[in-house]
């Protein structure tokens, strides 16, 4: 099992999927992989931007459809939600592009935007622009960080197999332990029924 081969083979798909759910970490790792020559930098930016755009678009649509119901559950944060919605109405362009850069707004931001009833024809192009800027910035940071992390990654591949065997051995010990306990309890139940 060669981790570099796996990254080269499935890296772009993993970047798209990972960027839908969580962004910065996967984007930085994509930049590191591009620095190592395992992936191509422009394709990393494209994959990450696509995943980020899809994730935000889905959350925006959920916000348009169910946002009011979802936000009712967060009654403790009603004031903050109101402030964010006011900001969306005043500066929709800045909020749509900037929400992916605001800590804690990665998931709630597009949901709030959808709830605010910002029209899809405005949200979609801004979402694309924001996703490209975000992907370019974090991929570049990962690429630059690859200089520092690169030597560690070469050693990581050598240690992966050992860690996998160790984890499997520990899992086997726990499974056997559970099986023996389960078997002993079953015997005790059968003995007490007799």
Contacting residues for 18 by C-beta, under 8 A, at least 6 apart? 25, 26, 51
Q: Is the pTM above the cut of 0.75? A: no
pLDDT tens, residue by residue, 113-146: 888 888 889 899 999 999 999 999 989 988 888 7
Specify the pLDDT at position 176: 82
Q: Could you tell me if residue 171 is left (phi over 0), alpha (psi between -120 and 50 degrees) or otherwise beta?
A: alpha
Smallest CA-to-CA distance from 92 within 65, 129, 50 is with 129
Residues in the chain with pLDDT values less than 50 = none
Specify the pLDDT at position 132: 94
Specify the pLDDT at position 159: 61
């Amino acid at each position: 099992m060669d981790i570099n081969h796996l990254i080269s083979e499935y890296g772009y798909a993993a970047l798209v999927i990972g960027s839908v759910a969580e962004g910065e970490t996967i984007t930085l790792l994509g930049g590191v992989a591009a620095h190592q020559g395992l992936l191509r930098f422009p394709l990393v930016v494209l994959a990450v931007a696509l995943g980020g755009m899809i994730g935000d678009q889905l959350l925006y649509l959920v916000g348009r459809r169910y946002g009011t119901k979802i936000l009712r559950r967060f009654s403790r944060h009603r004031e903050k939600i109101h402030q964010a919605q006011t900001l969306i109405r005043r500066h929709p362009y800045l909020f749509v592009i900037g929400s992916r850069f605001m800590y804690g707004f990665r998931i709630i931001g597009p949901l709030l935007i959808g709830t605010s009833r910002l029209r899809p024809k405005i949200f979609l192009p801004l979402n694309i622009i924001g996703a490209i800027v975000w992907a370019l910035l974090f991929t570049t940071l990962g690429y630059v960080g690859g200089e520092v992390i690169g030597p560690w990654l070469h050693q990581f591949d050598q240690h992966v197999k050992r860690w996998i065997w160790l984890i499997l051995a520990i899992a086997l010990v726990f499974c056997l332990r559970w099986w023996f306990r389960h078997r002993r309890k079953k015997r005790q139940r059968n003995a007490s029924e007799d």
